[in-house]
Structure 1
Amino acid sequence: MLAPEVPMSHSVAGEPSSAGRRAAPLTTAVYSAAEWDLLTTLPGRVIVAAAAPGPGRPRQGVAAGVAGLDAVAAGRAFDSDLVRAVVAAIYARHDGATDVVERLADVVDLLAACRAATRVLGRRADPADSAAYRQWLQSIAARVRAAAATGPRAVPPPPADRRFLDRLGGALGLR
């Protein structure tokens, strides 16, 4: 059986949010079920990887998870139809997708998935939506990593945080 395709519309950079704009023709691209799954699971995978302990980095705990969830939710206000649709799909999921996220926390796998998503977006998405999505993922990771520096036991971010964010930005084509 063929996987269903998910239609997606995209806004142009600089346009007002969809709530304030009149109906206008939008560029439409179609994502396969596998592509859409990749795009909708990446934010959760970024949270898990960014909150994971590492060399010189203790376990992050609840503050990091909350920061990540807040960063995902902030996508609802983005001026990008793609980011808003991904957030809506994440919140609409009731299929146990979080089990997949927990199994895929490895940073190497995450970076490979980010490179794959960047290729998909390069082929299918409006350039403004592609950039917004990739920057949104980077901001999720930055907010999770910053949670330790602002929490009750605030600590300066270790160099590993900067390296992680740099590697993530590279995989997303932002560096």
Structure 2
Amino acid sequence: MSHPVAGEPSAAGRRAVPLANAGYSTTEWDLLTDLPGRVLVAAASPGPGRPPRGVAAGLAGLDAVAAGRAFDSDLVRAVVAAIYARHDGAAARDERLTDVVDLLAACRAAVRLLRRRADPADAAAYRQWVESVAARVCQAGDVGSSPADRRFLDRLGGALDLR
């Protein structure tokens, strides 16, 4: 069961999810659909000053990704549907998953793409949803959020143009 996090909209007024990639190129769609998983993995990975995360953090991140199904945003729901439709394991083979510099660059690229192509409300919902994935991971389990986690979240929020 998904529990709301600050910034996540209620399920009221949801519309049907379009299963197509909403007119994005394959490269653009891959960026949008890969980013939440990359954020989850980076948030769950230990780094300088960041504690190792357990299973609870990974599950919290997966729950946050799934919570996108309840967003009042066609784009977010379509991205979640595409994530769950994948069975190729491509994300698991990508070494860039835990590289924070690459992740932040991907976030900035997604923001630029969304500014050009998405409805402003959908773009804002997507950016907030992606940030909520990292926030849930960092707040999960016995570890809690460290100063290094807060710096990571601040950097991520900046790259997502939320700060």
- The TM-score range, normalised by the shorter chain, is 0.7 to 0.9
1:29 Cα deviation after fit: 5.7
Q: Say if 2:138 and 2:144, in contact at 8 Å, map to a contact too.
A: no
Q: Which of the numbers 107, 114, 117 marks the counterpart of 1:121?
A: 114
SS in structure 2 of the partner of residue 30 of structure 1 = coil
Match in the other structure for 1:90:
83
Match in the other structure for 1:60:
53
Structure 1 residues 48-83: Cα deviation after superposition (integer angstroms, max 9, x where no partner) = 100111223221021111000000000000000000
Aligned residues: 148
For structure 1, the 5+ residue unaligned runs are: 1-14, 20-27
| Identity value in percent | 78
Let me know the Cα RMSD of the aligned residues. 1.7
- Report which of the two has the higher share of strand: 1
Whose radius of gyration is greater, 1 or 2? 1
Q: Distance in 1 between matches of 2:66 and 2:83?
A: 10
Q: Tell me whether 1:159 sits opposite 2:147 in the alignment.
A: yes
Structure 1 residues 21-59: Cα deviation after superposition (integer angstroms, max 9, x where no partner) = xxxxxxx96211000000000000000100111223221
1:95 Cα deviation after fit: 1.6
Match in the other structure for 1:73:
66
The verdict on how the C-alpha distance between 1:136 and 1:130 changes in structure 2, with shifts beyond 3 A counting, is: same
Per the normalisation by structure 1, the TM-score is: 0.79
Per the normalisation by structure 2, the TM-score is: 0.85
Letter in 2 for 1:38: L
Higher relative contact order (CA 8 A, sep 6+): 2
Q: Distance in 2 between matches of 1:136 and 1:156?
A: 20
